[in-house]
Structure 1
Amino acid sequence: MYFTKSDTRCPANGILWLVMAVSLVFQSCTFRADAPTVTTHQVAGQQTLFDFNDPGNKMPETAAEKEVDINNLLDEMTLREKIGQLFFIRARGYFKNVEDESYRALASKVKNYNLGGIVFFKGSIYGQAVLTNRLQELSDIPLWMTQDMEFGAAMRVEQTTRLTPAMGIAATQNPDYAYLAGKITAQEAKVLGVRQIFAPVLDVNNNPRNPVINVRSFSGNPDTVALYGQRFIDGVQSQRVVATAKHFPGHGDTDTDSHRALPVINHDYDRLKKVELAPFEQAINHGLQSVMSAHIAFPKISSNPQYPGTLDPSILNRILVDSLNFKGLVVTDGLEMRGISAHYSPGEAVTLALKAGADMMLLSLDEITAIQEVERAVERGEISEARIDRSVRKILEKKRQAGLFRDRKVDLEQLNVKIKSLENELIADEIARNSLTLLKNEGGILPITADKYPRVLVISVTDTDAEEKGTALVKEMRKYHPSVRHGVIYRDISSEDRSELTENVRWADLIVIGAHMYINSSGSSQFNLSQRRWLEQLPAQTPKALITFGNPYAVKDLPAANVQLLAWDGSDHQLENTAPALFGASGISGRLPINIPGAYDMNEGISLPQSTIRYDLAEAAGLSGEKLYQVDQLMHEAIFDSTFPGGIVTVLKDGIVAYQKAFGYETYEKVNPVYNGDIYDLASLTKIIGTTTAMMKLVDEGRIALDDKVGDYFPEFEEGLKSQVTIQNLLLHNSGLPPFRIYVDELQTRHELVEAVKNEPLINDPGTTYKYSDLGFILMGEIVHEVTGKRLDEYMHETFYRPLGMRSTRFNPRKAGKWIVNRIPPTERDTIYRHKTVRAQAHDERAYYMDGVAGHAGLFSSGSDIATYAQMLINKGSYGGNQYISPSTVEQFTRRQSELNNRGYGFDRKSEEGLSTAGTLASDQSFGHTGFTGTSFWVDPQRDLAIIILTNRTYPYRSYGRDISKVRADVADAVISSIIE
């Protein structure tokens, strides 16, 4: 993962190389139909080629598959049994008791009418699998299970892998995503027993008023539809599942929903061939196995202008079969749709469809009546039995090729292995993130920062009564922003909810509007009138960001929105993968695959790089989640051994917080568990995250030089050996100052303690001896005050912590209130100075008596905040699009700077000999620091890796418990061992 200030290139992909070891090939950042048809993948260290010109990537048939003689089977079947094979009926894949009336009706049809198969609609994984097995037992001939799966199995089956709709996949500019989407869909379909999926949509979405296709299409460009559609088909057929291209000859240029009426397209053949037919023609030439017809009339190309395409021989026989030479399965769209059922009886519709060239009859309104009527039509000579045989033979052949005559049942043991696998989920997440398309970003609102917009209101607008719409987006946003509120403008919103929403509008610094709605074929507005009026009354001075979830044309309804972002789906999966991009935690790189008339042209889009950390799975960052359980074991063992009562481990890799877990309790009483967001006394990590960082900034700005004499700031260092001490000596701990003095037995004010440190005599000549010293950092904290006019806490908060979003990082956390104090475990029962349990106050006595603000100790922070800080260092001083410290200064401070030891300026580095708390596997370039209270962080820049451990190992007493050094080292080694090479 690379963090840059700007990057308009195609995005690098962080998941595929890890999960599938796939090397994705990006040809350009524009839609191209001439992209290569062969791509190289790395699988288990071996190169393999997927040839997209291989028709369907077909596998050779096994001997067992060849055993069934389809001709003999046909000869043995009665006419009615043959006709039954043409029909595919609706089923819901949920659990049903065998005495349930809906199950009895379904089972009766399967047993008595020799049906060809099932069209599954909504269901659950085990419900559909068990029902499949029951129905297969009832049928003499194996059933052919089919299902609509345009955006993955999750389109119909709960808890399966959800994939971005076709248009979003095309927005990624990466055709290989289409292949992987098809492959994942087919993998999960197959393990569910589904052998044919009704996808992809090859319609060209060139009509903005189309109420039924929209984001189901890849693009408004036929070449793009052809390219991405073919890749999807190849992915499906690589798993020996049948893909079905739809809706032939094209449903893109309509403004009528064929579910409700019969659309009419008045284009001539030349136009259809150039646009609508082009994707189907390419797919057929590359081995497409199935086509679904459209219930649309084409009067200018048909000798039967009143017929919908499904019933029209001019469409299916003359164009599809004769002109395009298609030999596969022809599937009707649902015969229950009003484009058919409003004009034809069940049997008449099927008879006409057979005459037109269709093979599989989906979802007749009345299958039993239709079977009877078709039988009579054959008996009357209206249609021949040979014509019936032709279609039945195709269907039986598919069943034979799929091995269903040998094994027709679902293996229930494979469901929890192959469905919604981590591999599939990571790929789906990556596609969703890379599909996001930014069309407008006035004022650089994205990425959002809490510093610029402290209060964010999310308004979800929906054309349904879903009062909870958008909650997944808000939940994810709260990982990146401390103050996000949410309201929903649902269809019949109550006056109370509207009033509350109006109050929140006045509270907000930024309003994010999430549009969750279907396309409106009126073409005038996608929001209803009352919603639009309310949105137009939002205060003009408050910036607004519009995100469309599934209806890209809605951007035209709010042209004044400062941000217009397209997310292609309203599912929780898409919402969860949209939220990080709003804050720079994932990049935005999509390009518009359609024209939005009057607003945007095809291929438009603004690129934003990832610039902040993202919270994601371990595998998303190239770590093995399974191997990281070793960290869990180490932490549990350390708690059991009383090394510390509890703690948090945070792992940052490639810009991703890939592991963050809390362990144990705040104290050994084991009453209050530790949580991921808890805040710890950092002790000496203050030297780095506070003082050293301040010095880096001031050196960068030329306000301090490393060779400045300390005497330039304090007269106590103007004479004798002390006059030789430089800031560089203080940073390297070779100033000659002693490690520490107690002082606080007698001196308990900030002024007294600082003066005592200034007057402390040296114990060694400057630059000759390494002695780790708190005193030198106390002096540097005061130098920051001298140079900036601000105390260290104020300077760091204004310069770093607040703009970086490190909201939990602060000195004197008690001043922030209970919301932060309650997240801080105690550090010690102080029986000497304060005579109480120390909590949310500096554990170090000198820092405590220095009003809680000292250059060596006193800072509190969380694992997430330190991860942000670590990423800033990994980025060479850059974070969130801002350069805080120059790269040269970061490199200078973090590399070895002393011949006396391996330390950098302020930073510790991995020890060259003996035990290092960075572990044995960290690179030699690793840098970091540890804190007395049991805190540590190490950065390995060669691996883009940071390991942060926060504990209160000083509780109940600083002498209590075991040495934490080995735990730190072992955790670091366990993390590095989890990296997937």
Structure 2
Amino acid sequence: MRKIFCLLTSFLVFTSLFAQTSNPLLATDVEMQQKWVDSLYNNMTLEEKVGQLFMVQAFSNQGLAHENIISQLITNHHIGGIIFSKGDPINQARINNIFQEASKVPLLIGMDAEWGLSMRLDSTYAFPWNMTLGAIKDNELIEQVGKQLGEHCKRLGVHFNFAPVVDINTNPINPIIGNRSFGEDRDNVTEKSLALMKGMQGAGVLANAKHFPGHGDTDTDSHKTLPSINFDAKRIDSVEFYPYRKLINEGLSSVMVAHLSVPALESREGYPSSLSYPIITEILKQKLQFQGLIYTDALNMKGAANFGSDGEVDLAAFMAGNDVLLIPEDVAKGINKIVEAYNSGIISEERLAHSVKKILQAKYKVGLNNYKPIETKHLVEDLNRIQDKTLSEVLFEDAITVIKNKEELLPIRKLEKKKIAYVKMGDDDGSTFFKELQKYAKVHEVSDDNLDGLISKLSGYNTVIVGFHRSNDNPWKDYKFSDKELVWLYEIARNNNVILDVFVKPYALLDLSTVTNFESIIVSYQNSEVAQQKSAQLIFGAIPAKGMLPVSVGNGFHAGDGVAYANLSRLNYGLPERVGMSSEKLKKLDSVAQYAVDKKMTPGIQLLVARKGKVIYNKNFGTHTYDKKSEPVAFDDIYDVASLTKILATLPLLMELEDKGEINLDSKLSDLLPEYANSNKKDITLKKMLSHYARLKPWIPFYYATLDSTKHPDPKYYRKEPNKKFSVKVANNLYMRKDYQDSIQKIIMDTDLLNKESYRYSDLPYYILKKYIETYYDQTLDVLVQDHFYESLGANYTTYNPYVKFSGKKIVPTEVDDYYRYQEVHGYVHDMGAAMQDGVGGHAGVFSNANDVAKIMQLFLQKGFYGGKRYFKPETVDKYNTCYFCDEDNRRGIGFDKPQLGDVGPTCGCVSMASFGHSGFTGTYAWADPDEEIVYVFLANRTYPKADSNLLLKANIRTDIQRLIYEAIID
């Protein structure tokens, strides 16, 4: 034994002459560091020096007794460090401060936080697992993960993070590495590990590469037994050692030696690598010339403890070349054993000083020479920062991988031709995924207790999305398909076009004996909410497909494979900071909207903000009505959008006709409708009509003439039951004479014009243009706008006469009518003139939710392009979004409202002059700004129960919210 350690001492002196030029533990002020290290070391007793070698495990959730045990180890045995496991951040910070206060030499604090502190602590943010990160091509993102992980650790007083895992996982059934590895390709693993290391160490937290010499091809759990690596030395050198070489040359701070049996490197049978002199000293220190700290794996694992009690295993680990003895079985016995070996000459002073001074160097480098207690104020907030959530969102976007895409089914296009079903498999929740899918298309969840029933139900669908959802609680959860699920999956794929999306590690696909009948396969890696959201967005082309497989999964799918495609310019959903907005500042919108509800300006509100194609704020407030039992406003509730109909229905159809060359802004009314040839309106142009500059009356109360002397619907014009003559449904059990619609058109044609040209807002152009459009196509406006726009846009909540398609529970009432229909207006258009047109007006009648309105506004913002389809030419949008009569004090564009020219107008006064939108009588508002790429939608039913008091407008709620949106811009 003495001979071995004399050789060891000679070896340490020899290798110090030929080691890498940069010691990763040296600080920038190396002379000051050396003085601090020497001063501490020279004033320590032997027992204190040996105590520095030990790092014990502590928990912040096990109470006072446990804390006392650790405190005694600090005061009685002078341990050098603590590895924290499990608990919560506030308690960890508290007891960390207690432990540091009790320690004569500041403690080196470590954590096993491979993908974030949440692995060990509650209430902290998690980044994706390494397997997920392995699918990302952009390694700068991985470095950013390391940086932000380092910042978390530093904030919590943690100096060492036991990451990255550099194991090259070549064994799919590896029970302990799996999701913790970046994958099977040595170059990808190396580059990812290096990036993570650089990020962490750049943030001032020391990295730890594990598990040396390589844990990637084990099939047993090292926590329960001693796994074996049975490759020859050549293979281990070329694969397992590969990442270590690169990281060591780039300044790696520390390495953890694995609990493995490696016969090719250690000749003693069943001898753990963590106790092996050939592996640690001859290979890691000599061959690879590593100068940083060397940690054992946990010394309390089975296999290590079998090599002696009473501290023998600790002595063996130190003799093998380790510097830090991690989680020993018995600190007192370990220290005693090493002290005995020192006193008997087995361990030299040089050997002890070598490790202890390295530990002290590390302490200096992380700032423990100037130790300060952890500040607990705002600690939880600092560990759950918006930038961490933002980064995680980006990571999942870049990781999700399409590995099969037959006939380019993905991203899904031509929504008008798709009938889509979602089938959930697995034992975990997939509701977030399903809800996100529904933002893009009409998707139904289909299930059944037996396979035949399910196949029958799916027969009406031409696209089936199967989501396989397993628990995301930790990386070791079960990820496999059950035998029943495989049978069902094959049968569904045999009968339907299937998109299979697995929210588990890609090894689940190894269970598939064939993928012939699957049109598309997506690997989403984890079943987190953000993974589910981003995967749905990828399916519909709202975000591009970028990821690559980190491992091979059979059926011809190899590491590095991945089908890439660009986005289709559909709205996606994410965090404000992604597009230069502040989440914190946007919270002010909550207050204003809630104030409007609380003050009974409107029963409820849907509020949405998008920027640069990303919906960053989408919230609901209040209820459908003021009834205490009323439904809370939900995402898929639909509102009567009133005059937004003008730009959501009539205007797009006119733009389309302009593109076809059928009309232009100089088209005269007599050209559009020949019956106007002899009227006083024959020379009115489309430009003037839609700019509200055509001398048309603002409003004609058509319904007045249909009331009797008691101001109720006159039986001459109305019936309670429909028949051939009375078929225009204006409300529940109220049907108007069909021929009265012709009377409305004649009244408009015969009415006088105003005396002079000036800006006067009028609905009448939209009655006239509805007639023109329907005559041109020989089809009703509601059918036309569905066929031409809504279905292909995926605006599935947008419709006229919603009572035909939707449950009354999803339709928000607009008024309790006591002047015309004498009932609650619920599911029927509020506007009387539109109601008299069977609910289908060119100026009113559309019902929608905020998300659908945003799609149409985004279509305008993107100059007529959305979802991979061009609806109209960019120059057409520009033409309609122009104020032609601004010099005459008329702010209006063609159909669109525009910002005010003076102090009073439809906006906050803080939007660009290129912006455009419209408002509606029921309290609705939609606005788009090309300069800032902002879409803002506000839906309300301020007319409920009565329309006469417009508190919403008087309080400037909609424009105040608009102002706050612009104040939230931070780029």
Same fold flag (TM > 0.5): yes
Q: 1:171, 1:436 within 8 Å by CA — same for their partners in 2?
A: yes
Distance across 1 between alignment mates of 2:73 and 2:25:
35
Alignment of 1:233-272 (within 5 A): 233-265=197-229, 267=231, 271-272=235-236
Cα distance in 2, alignment partners of residues 103 and 765 from structure 1: 87
What CA distance in whole angstroms lies between the structure 1 residues aligned with 2:501 and 2:604? Answer: 41
Per-residue CA deviation, residues 372-419 of structure 1 (Å, 9 max, x unaligned), is 444454455544454334323322332344344653643212413421
**1:342-357 counterparts in 2 under 5 A?**
347-357=311-321
* Residues 25 and 358, structure 2, Cα contact 8 Å, conserved in 1: no
The answer to whether the 8 A contact 2:172-2:507 is kept is yes
- Partner deviation per Cα, 1:30-70 (whole Å, 9 max, x = no partner): xxxxxxxxxxxxxxxxxxxxxxx998798645999788554
Task: Read off the aligned partner of 2:57 and give its amino acid letter.
Answer: R
Residue in structure 2 matched with residue 197 of structure 1 by the alignment: 161
Which aligned pairs between 1:735-814 and structure 2 lie closer than 5 A? 735-747=694-706, 749=737, 751-758=739-746, 760-761=749-750, 763-764=752-753, 770-814=759-803
| Structure 2 SS opposite 1:359 | coil
> In the alignment, which of 631, 639, 643 is matched to residue 684 of structure 1?
643
Counterpart amino acid of residue 880 in structure 1: G
**TM-score normalised by structure 1 residue count:** 0.83
**Residue number in structure 1 paired with 2:422:** 457
Task: State which of 647, 658, 677 in structure 1 corresponds to 2:616.
Answer: 658
CA contact under 8 A between 1:917 and 1:968: conserved in structure 2?
no
Q: Does the residue aligned with 2:584 lie in a helix, a strand or coil? A: coil
The answer to whether 1:826 aligns with 2:784 is no
Supply the distance in 2 between the matched residues of 1:504 and 1:368 (Cα, whole angstroms): 64
Q: State the Cα distance separating 1:197 from its structure 2 match.
A: 0.8
Supply the distance in 2 between the matched residues of 1:116 and 1:656 (Cα, whole angstroms). Answer: 49
Q: Is the 8 A contact 1:220 1:593 kept in 2?
A: yes
AA at the equivalent of 2:379: L
- 1:847 aligns to 2:797 (yes or no): no
1:853 aligned partner, one-letter code: V
Residue identity in the other structure for 2:152: E
Q: What are the equivalent positions in structure 2 for 1:506-655 lying under 5 Å apart?
A: 506-508=456-458, 509=461, 510-514=464-468, 516=470, 526-527=480-481, 529-538=483-492, 540-558=494-512, 559-560=515-516, 561-596=518-553, 598-610=555-567, 611-635=569-593, 644=602, 646-655=604-613
Specify the code of the residue in structure 2 equivalent to 1:586. I
**5+ unaligned residues in a row in structure 1: which ranges?**
1-52, 462-466, 488-497, 519-524
State the shift of 1:881 in Å: 2.7
Structure 1 vs Structure 2 CA RMSD: 3.7
Partners of 2:328 and 2:797 lie apart in 1 by 62
Closer/same/farther in 2, CA of residues 967 and 413 from structure 1, 3 Å limit: closer
Contact residue 245 and residue 291 of structure 1 kept, 8 A: yes
| Aligned residue runs from structure 1 range 669-748, under 5 A | 672=630, 675=633, 677=635, 678-701=637-660, 710-711=669-670, 714-719=673-678, 721-747=680-706
Q: Which of 136, 148, 166 in structure 2 is aligned with 1:172?
A: 136
AA partner of residue 60 (structure 2): G
Comparing 688-697 and 672-681, the one that deviates more: 672-681
Aligned pairs (5 A) from 1:274-423? 274-301=238-265, 307-338=271-302, 340-341=304-305, 347-378=311-342, 381-384=345-348, 386-404=350-368, 406-407=370-371, 409-423=373-387
In 1: Cα distance, 2:435 partner to 2:622 partner: 26
TM-score w.r.t. structure 2 length?
0.84
Picking from 854, 870, 881, the partner of 1:894 is 881
* CA distance, structure 1, for counterparts of residue 625 and residue 142 of structure 2: 52
Mapped contact 1:206–1:252 kept (Cα < 8 A): yes
Partner of 2:929: 940
Contact 2:607 2:619 in 1 (8 A): yes
Deviation at 1:174?
Answer: 1.4
Secondary structure of the corresponding residue to residue 292 of structure 1: strand
8 Å CA contact 2:25, 2:292 repeated in 1: no
1:219 to partner: Cα distance: 4.1
Cα–Cα, structure 1 residues 303 and 671, in superposed 2: closer, same or farther, change >3 Å?
closer
2:5 maps to what in 1?
none
Q: In the TM superposition, what whole-angstrom CA distance separates every residue of 1:106-152 from its partner, at most 9, and x where no partner exists? A: 55544443333222222222232233234444544433221111112
1:715: how far off? 4.3
Question: Could you tell me which of 492, 499, 504 is aligned with 2:449?
Answer: 499
SS of corresponding position for 2:835:
helix
1:85–1:392 contact (8 Å) kept in structure 2? yes
Instruction: Confirm or deny that 1:435 pairs with 2:399.
Output: yes
Q: C-alpha separation between the residues in 1 aligned to 2:695 and 2:37?
A: 94
Q: Structure 2 regions of 5+ residues with no counterpart?
A: 1-20, 473-478, 707-735
Q: Secondary structure of 1:413's match?
A: coil
Shift in Å, 1:444: 4.2
Are residues 894 and 62 of structure 1, via their aligned partners in 2, closer, same or farther at CA, if it must alter by over 3 Å? farther
Shift of 1:980: 0.9
Cα deviation, residue 304, structure 1? 5.3
Match of 2:44 in 1: 76
CA distances 1:530-564 after superposition (whole Å, capped 9, x unpaired): 54344334452133333334422333433243222
CA gap of 1:476–1:832, structure 2 versus 1, over 3 A, is closer
SS in 2 for 1:512: strand
Structure-1 separation of matches of 2:148 and 2:100 = 25
Residues 476/332 of structure 1: CA separation in 2 closer, same or farther (3 Å cut): farther
- 1:951 & 1:774 partners in 2: Cα distance? 21
In the aligned structure 2, how far is the partner of 1:690 from the partner of 1:766? 30
Q: Hey, what's the Cα distance between the residues in 1 that align with 2:492 and 2:694?
A: 61
Q: 1:89 aligns with which of 56, 63, 69?
A: 56
Instruction: After superposing the two structures, state which structure 1 stretch, 670-679 or 921-930, moved more.
Output: 670-679
Question: 1 CA distance for matches of 2:488 and 2:628?
Answer: 52
Q: In 1, Cα distance between the equivalents of 2:362 and 2:780?
A: 78
Output one character per residue of 1:496-548: Cα deviation in whole Å (capped at 9) or x when no partner.
Answer: xx936875565444242326489xxxxxx954545434433445213333333
Amino acid at match of 1:757: Q
Asked if structure 2 preserves the Cα contact closer than 8 Å seen for 1:757 and 1:775, the reply is no
Letter matched to residue 977 of structure 1: E
**Partner SS state of residue 581, structure 2:** coil
**699-708 or 230-239: which moved more?**
699-708
**Counterpart-to-counterpart distance in 2, 1:633 and 1:168:** 38
Q: Matched residue of 1:171: which SS?
A: coil
Give, as a single letter, the amino acid of the residue that structure 1 aligns with 2:511: D
Match of 1:860 in 2: 847
Instruction: Give the match's secondary structure for 1:499.
Output: coil
How many residue pairs match? The answer is: 903
Q: For 1:746, what is the secondary structure of its paired residue?
A: helix
The 3 A distance-change label for structure 1 pair 819 and 367 is: farther
User: Residues of 2 paired with 1:173 and 1:55: CA distance?
Assistant: 31
CA offset at residue 97 of structure 1?
3.4
Q: Which shows bigger deviation, 849-858 or 568-577?
A: 568-577
Q: Distance in 1 between matches of 2:945 and 2:35?
A: 76
Write the distance in 2 (CA, Å) between the matches of 1:221 and 1:266: 19
SS at match of 1:870: helix
Residue deviations 1:871-905 (CA, integer Å, cap 9, x gap): 12222223233333343433332234557644333
Closer, same or farther: CA 577–82 of 1 in aligned 2, 3 Å: farther
Pick closer, same or farther for the CA change 1:84–1:584 going to 2, 3 Å.
same
Change (3 A) 1:397 1:365: same
CA drift at 1:824: 0.6
Structure 2 CA distance, aligned partners of 1:64 and 1:766? Answer: 91
**Cα distance between partner residues in 2 of 1:83 and 1:928:** 74
